[in-house]
Structure 1
Amino acid sequence: MSLDRPVAPAPYELLPQVGAFTVTSTDVRDGEPLAGRYAHGSSGGENVSPQLAWSGAPEGTKSYVVTCFDPDAPIPGGFWHWVAVNLPAGTTELPTGAGSGDDGLPAGAFHVRTDFGSRDYGGAAPPQGDQVHRYYFVVHAVDVDALDVDQDSSAAVVSFNLAFHTLARAILAPTFAH
């Protein structure tokens, strides 16, 4: 199966400009294919969230939100793979596997439901034979201690709130296809 469609624009280029800072990973690289370990079980993976570390967030950062979004999913609005909300300002890293549930997150932080329907990391899962997909792992530096959302909020509601509270973003965008 090959879905003949143009590549979606980079999602954060469509939003108002904000500052930038640095995110790195010992597990994934910007522009390079994800290892199967970080793919969803439906794609033959282990569904493990990658390690992320960040630095250089702007003054005034009071919390962080970490997301993973696939703009290349064959649906109009892309696909949310991970949304970890209200990470305390002192947090500078999530270890490999932190997306397995709220127990892997710092106190006060939590996951909201992804487009898989669960409250955890859902790995890469493009349709078999589809184009290469980009997975935007983004750390959002936020200007409030906690977004006004809860575990029942959708990823879209979190994203909407981020539009008003993001000071800066740090982005890694590895790829995956199978």
Structure 2
Amino acid sequence: MTRKPKPAPKDATARKPHPKLRLAYVIGSLDRIIRRRISEALAPLGLTIGQFTVMSVLDAGGQASNAQLAERSLITPQSANEVMNAMATRGWITKEPDPTHGRIVLLQLTDEGRAILRQCEQAVSVIEGQMLAGMAPDVASSVQSYLELFVRNLRA
């Protein structure tokens, strides 16, 4: 007796997770794809993912030291220093001494840096839109909440 194959799901929401793939593997694959796509989108604007991340952190928090930016941007202090120097040379950030501590330099986005960041955010929004295509907004919000929970759980 010949069995008929099951029809393929019509949309992504109807698919069940692959039983042999671990969630960590799927998240890792997604991370690699997103990093590649964002790198490609930022290249014409002259930025790296590290620079985009640092600029986003500065935009959200105002002034910060190199050490604070490194920690918040998930890069080493040495890498942060290289990123900062490259961005300062391009006029995207300013460096000024911390008035309360002589050895700390505070970094801040310039107006030009903010303008470049807005262009980058538009490019990244397109990628996020493609990633979330076919997903209801409430589901996308739930996915983000769970991913944030995963991050908190593993940082603890």
Determine if the TM-score, normalized by the shorter chain, exceeds 0.5. Answer: no
TM-score (norm 1): 0.25
Q: Which has the higher strand share?
A: 1
Larger Rg: 2
Bigger fraction of residues in helix:
2
Which structure is richer in relative contact order (CA contacts within 8 A, separation 6 or more)? Answer: 1
